Amino acid sequence: MHPPQVGGGCSAWPNRPRFPFRIYAFGVSSIALDNVDPLQAEMAARDGLLRPASYVMRPDVLGAARLSRYSFSRTMLRRAVADGWTAKRVRQDLDDEGRGESIYAVDTGKQRFSFVVFTTTIDESAHTDRVIADRWEVAGVLVDGDVDDELLTMLRIEVPEQESGRLDPRILSLTRGNRSVRFFGYLVDELASGRQPDPERVGDAGYILRSTAFYANGKFGMRSFAGYSDDHPFRVPYRAQFVAAWMFRELGYDMVEHCARAKGGDTAVRFDGAWRRYFGLGNATGLGLVPYAFKHPRVLDAWVGVREVALADVRWQEATPAGRSLLHDWIARAREHFASGSGDDCTPFLNSQALVPVLDNVSEAWVNVAESEHPYDALYLWAEKQGPETSEMVVSLLIELHDGDDDLFDQLFLVNEQASADPTASVADIRSLLDERFGWLDELGLDELTAEAFWWVVSDNTEEPRRVRRHRLAPEGRDVAVDMALRLWRFGQVLADRDPGESIASVLADHPEHRAALERLTASDRRYGEPRDNPCAADYLPLQVQRFQLAQYGMDEFKPKSTDWLRVTLFQGAPRLSELGPATTDDWVLPVRPSASVVV
């Protein structure tokens, strides 16, 4: 028996006994065990099995990512089921147009949380995804605990103000958004008339409301992540935000059905059949995501590393008849999902219809390798040769077969971003480290004029990160430091002219402008921490790293509107609040658009 090949430039897998998923035991609040980062320990246990960073961190590979079993929306709902959470609408006071107040609650068995949301209407011309908006149709908060009259009075004043408001540590997340201009009124009219929606009218999207932000971690007076107790149910990155997003999505259903009853009376119906779950929560994102990806290498490593650990496990595991059948079903499910989607232009990505032949090819390839010695690995190796869209589709499908320990995998997302450079290190030591971690910089053409075509700055008009041609605007000290590729490359040029035995402190005394590069070199000690790209280059495409981040959130339906921003859908097909229970499964993703309108 020969071990499978890793692909992407790796050597063969070592022939050794299979390891258990839980290799290192540690407490729920632990971020390290014996000074070893848990994720790094998991990756070290699979050394030689993981795809190389030289492939995984390529921009086109990151830009082909899809949601997976370990996306934050999925892990949140699995945790809810595993721990027996219950969720419900506690109170709703809306007028005929859907304006008013709603309160939803989640009970984890240990603690209770409330989602308090205020809804109104604004003119369609005032709808915007920008943070500079000053009015939204939906504004809400996730509260730790129940909501008494005193707190509700404060929330009525502060929450609709969003950035201009002030909250307190009882608040865990702040959000806002608007109704879908195209779909909200249409859905109300259909239900009011006793009909389910016409699939052709909602074929190019799957949402009722569109969110524009989920703030947390201490902003505007809210509780910081560091302020969560060790046993807090949301002591996992992004859990509070995704609980809020799940209930935000529920609000959309409730608002449409309420307005339909107000308009249609006894004739009105509720969403029925597949429509009860089909709609998710819309979202749009732009350049604001890019600086985060380039400024948090250890966070990025965790997001990528968890997926790569799961993929390595699946590629090596024994294929049982049940496993083979399950993968066949997931491939068929994905094909059906995309076949029911639209053919809208999604350049530079493939639209839903264009993904159908991709899935057909995957299905045929699976038939050809299903009975081989290591079929999951064989399928991946085939997919990698077809290009990133196919390889990352197959990665997502294979990870559906992973049965890792969710307690462990939740903890793998916790990282310590602190790092300290050693001022006594020699120039030779730092050169060696730079070559080891950033030798790939030589492939980016950083000595060309086009390598620094853009500044990244915070716009005075939009209060958001923007990129601007250097010859058009001087940043005047207000630039956003995402130019680490350029900084490290220039740092390397300076080191090349220094005495190898000299201390790095001496170099920085002469060149203090390179301190940030040294600090980044120190912090970039993870396998998957660095996108192999230069965001300041003339041909840089922000959509690629944006798509990876959105896929990790659990979003899909990637629809670019320019080179800089795109629209997506979250929680499409997910269980509703009332459906949460022991029988709730994790196979809700990739829903099929209902094929016909149902008349009740």
Whether residue 460 is found in the same domain as residue 378: no
Residue 399 within any structural domain of the chain: yes
Q: How far apart (Å, rounded) are the C-alpha atoms in residues 89 and 63?
A: 38
Position 7 scores a pLDDT of 47
Residue 598 within any structural domain of the chain: no
The label of the residue with tokens 């996992």 reads 236
Whether residue 64 is found in the same domain as residue 82: no
Residue range of the domain that includes 88: 75-287
pLDDT in tens, 480-495: 889 999 999 999 999 9
Whether residue 378 is found in the same domain as residue 330: yes
Which one of 236, 263, 287 terminates a domain?
287
Residue 508 within any structural domain of the chain: yes
pLDDT in tens, 360-383: 999 999 999 999 999 999 999 999
- Which residues fall within 8 angstroms of residue 453, CB to CB, at 6 or more apart? 469, 470, 536, 537, 538
Whether residue 240 is found in the same domain as residue 302: no
Which one of 523, 541, 560 terminates a domain?
523
Band of the pLDDT at 130, cuts 50, 70, 90? Answer: low
**Helix, strand, or coil (residue 465):** strand
pLDDT in tens, 448-482: 999 999 999 887 776 778 888 988 877 777 788 89
Q: Based on the structure, what is the number of domains in the chain?
A: 3
Position 133 scores a pLDDT of 66
Whether residue 207 is found in the same domain as residue 120: yes
pLDDT in tens, 159-175: 999 988 899 999 999 99
Q: Indicate whether 432 pLDDT > 60.
A: yes
Peptide bond into 348 cis (omega under 30): yes
Whether residue 46 is found in the same domain as residue 119: no
Q: How far apart (Å, rounded) are the C-alpha atoms in residues 331 and 290?
A: 31
Measure Cα distances from 93 to 241, 254, 263, 451 in Å.
24, 11, 16, 56
Residue 539 within any structural domain of the chain: no
Burial class for 186, CB neighbours closer than 10 Å (0-12, 13-18, 19+): middle
